[in-house]
Amino acid sequence: MKMPEYTISPFIYQRRKTCELIVGNPKDGGVIIGGDNPIVVQSMLTADTMDTDLCVKQTLDLVKAGCQIVRITAPTVKDAANLKNIVEKLRLLGCKVPIVADIHFKPEAAMEAVKWVDIIRINPGNYADSKKFAVKSYTDEQYRAELEKIESKFSPLVHTCIELNRAMRIGVNHGSLSDRIMNRYGDTPQGMIESAIEFATIARKYNYHNFKFSMKSSNPKIMIQCYRLLVSRLNALGEDWNYPLHLGVTEAGEGEDGRIKSAIGIGSLLCDGIGDTIRVSLTEDSVYEIPVCYELIKLIPYLTIQRHQVSSDLLEILSDFSFPFNPYNYQRRLSAKVCSSLGIPVGEDELIRVFVTNEQYEKLPSNYKISSDVKAEGVYEKSDVFELNPLTDFAKPPENKMVAVSDDTLLPVIAAYRLLASRLNKIGARNPILLKDTFNPQKTQNEIKDALLFSSTNIGSLLCDGIGDAILIRAESDAEKAIKLAYNILQSSGSRSFKTEYVACPSCGRTLFNLQEVTAKIKSRTGHLKGVKIAIMGCIVNGPGEMADADFGYVGGAPGKINLYVGKKPVRFNIPQEEAVDCLVDLIKEYGKWSEPLKQ
């Protein structure tokens, strides 16, 4: 049986209808998540959970910035017990923001924490399950036996949540799937879904429904696929499985890279109508995450066409077309090969190219015209791009032409390009597609506060759909910033690698070193290594799993000690922190991934 789609239309925005999740007392500082309620913004403390005063200060700072839910890690029973002191002090100060306890490995810590907080977050890959990268075949009987063990450890928490009226997040991380799930489903979106459904089924067995899901990954493509697949699966399970969803790209990183990756993952799903709470996870002080969250929410009306805006004529046009891409399994759209105005091949299996306008090209310094890593690869006005309005019927374009949506198209960018791809597919045209981030550059520059988030969501969403052979950034007026943004979007979406990529987790109370300082040191030594991916993890919660998606990993193993990974395999242990960056460089050299930086 074909699974229900995750949305009613790939062209029209309609927020997914969910049941409501009650967090605390909504009449006294609590919040209601889901239903028709606004999207809720949350973040996480970076302080040690045993430092009560610093936890209180950081919480107050976050609330002042607009944070509506605050998460605090509770890695041990001792940490969990101190949540009582933190919450009591916050309430005495008049701060009633809901507090989430973040639990990973210890059910006993969860049982203590749930006494004091409004929400308990558990990770199915770590909670009552194991991850040792063991290879084992499970018979159906053995698999059921493992699930029974999980239920025996998880059900007491469910009962306590019912008794104390606590909410829960069943938060699956791509980097911490259990051995049991990995051996049956592999390191896949399907495995993430099954992990979440197993725990939800146990909760529902005891008539507990006050929970939400999350499906976080450091890879936006994986994250987007997971949430779409989860919604489709929930739809198939029945109307009473319409639980709210929390969105986040885990280990997004810092600066522009972290914001771009978050915009691609979170922004794309928001435009799909998916998401009830969000967190932008940056390797920065948590207060800087909050404005990014609100800006992404504000962008939704600019990036989508709402159902009430659709005329009957437009609805009739759109109803003739369905998904031009596989929403659950990334595949780049098949296209023919053509050449840009600068003689660079576009389409087929070529790299996704970066185009600029003629005005931008004239303003670019010479190095952006000849550099092998970051350069203009086509000039829009000189590449004889065939402009099409996807709202109208059109004949098959000439085979040697690149196509783009015309600027007079009265649709948002994502919907317009999905419709263009649908029409091209319908008539069997394989022309490469040039993606524009906006059809009205001047209006966009005047109205949009953050071009980086706007362009990243528009272009990144389409790239993750598999649509696009070249991209053009026009929302950013500065020519150099525009071309850099284009390349960074390609890198963050996993579409093209032109520099070192860093998977860096946001700091929290589990972190065993200063993430911001260490990340800066590692970047200063390795930032020239094109195509190398380095993960920087503060602790082992997601570290080993996320190593699988990186070439090398730098992970906090104990206070002052670092473990180094190659892929998901640990190869160096308990290195003194002051020596660890040098050891990382030596490891990169040992595996033949090192090159000396070019002299300036």
Q: Give the CA dihedral 461, 464, 465, 471, nearest 10 degrees.
A: 70
Place of tokens 């300036």: 600
Q: Which of helix, strand or coil describes residue 114?
A: coil
Separation of alpha carbons 485 and 472, rounded Å: 10
Q: What is the pLDDT of residue 514?
A: 78
Rounded to 10°, the helix 577-590/515-526 angle is 30
Structure tokens at 533: 């991916």
Give CA 492 to chain center in angstroms: 10
Q: What is the pLDDT of residue 492?
A: 94
Domain with CATH 3.20.20.20 in the chain: 20-308
Place of tokens 């783009």: 404
Separation of alpha carbons 528 and 420, rounded Å: 38
Separation of alpha carbons 467 and 456, rounded Å: 14
- Among residues 5, 41, 51, 129, which one has the least CA distance to residue 511? 51
pLDDT, tens digit (0-9, with 9 covering 90-100), for 351-377: 999 999 999 999 999 989 888 789 999
Q: What is the pLDDT of residue 250?
A: 80
Query: Per residue in 311-331, is it b (16+ CB within 10 Å) or e — as a string?
Result: eeebeebbeebebbbebbebe
Structure tokens at 562: 């670092």
Q: Which amino acid appears at position 52 of this protein?
A: T
- Contact present, 475 and 69 (Cβ < 8 Å): no
Q: Give the CA dihedral 572, 575, 578, 584, nearest 10 degrees.
A: 0
Q: Which of helix, strand or coil describes residue 115?
A: coil
Structure tokens at 449: 């506060």
Structure tokens at 331: 């595949």
Separation of alpha carbons 553 and 546, rounded Å: 8
The parts of the chain modelled with pLDDT lower than 70 are 1-4, 128-136, 252, 505-512, 539-548, 599-600
Q: What is the pLDDT of residue 528?
A: 87
Q: Which amino acid appears at position 20 of this protein?
A: E
Q: What is the pLDDT of residue 1?
A: 36
Separation of alpha carbons 136 and 183, rounded Å: 6
Q: What is the pLDDT of residue 284?
A: 87
Q: What is the pLDDT of residue 498?
A: 86
Task: Give, in words, the CATH class of 20-308.
Answer: alpha beta
Separation of alpha carbons 107 and 110, rounded Å: 5
Q: What is the pLDDT of residue 135?
A: 57
User: Where does residue 240 rank: exposed (0-12), middle (13-18), buried (19+ CB within 10 A)?
Assistant: exposed
Helix (H) or strand (E) holding 102: strand 99-103
Q: Please, which residues bridge with residue 379 across strands?
A: 356
Q: What is the pLDDT of residue 133?
A: 54
Structure tokens at 527: 């930032």
Q: What is the pLDDT of residue 173?
A: 86
The pTM of the whole model exceeds 0.95: no
Q: 3-state secondary structure string, 581-597?
A: HHHHHHHHHHCCCCCCC
* 501-590: CATH number: 3.30.413.10
Domain with CATH 3.30.413.10 in the chain: 501-590
Q: What is the pLDDT of residue 131?
A: 55
Q: What is the pLDDT of residue 596?
A: 86
Distances (CA, A) of 306 to 12, 14, 276, 332, 359: 6, 7, 17, 27, 34
Query: Per residue in 552-583, is it b (16+ CB within 10 Å) or e — as a string?
Result: bbbbbbeeebbbbbbbbebebeebebeebbee
Sign of CA dihedral 14, 15, 18, 20: negative
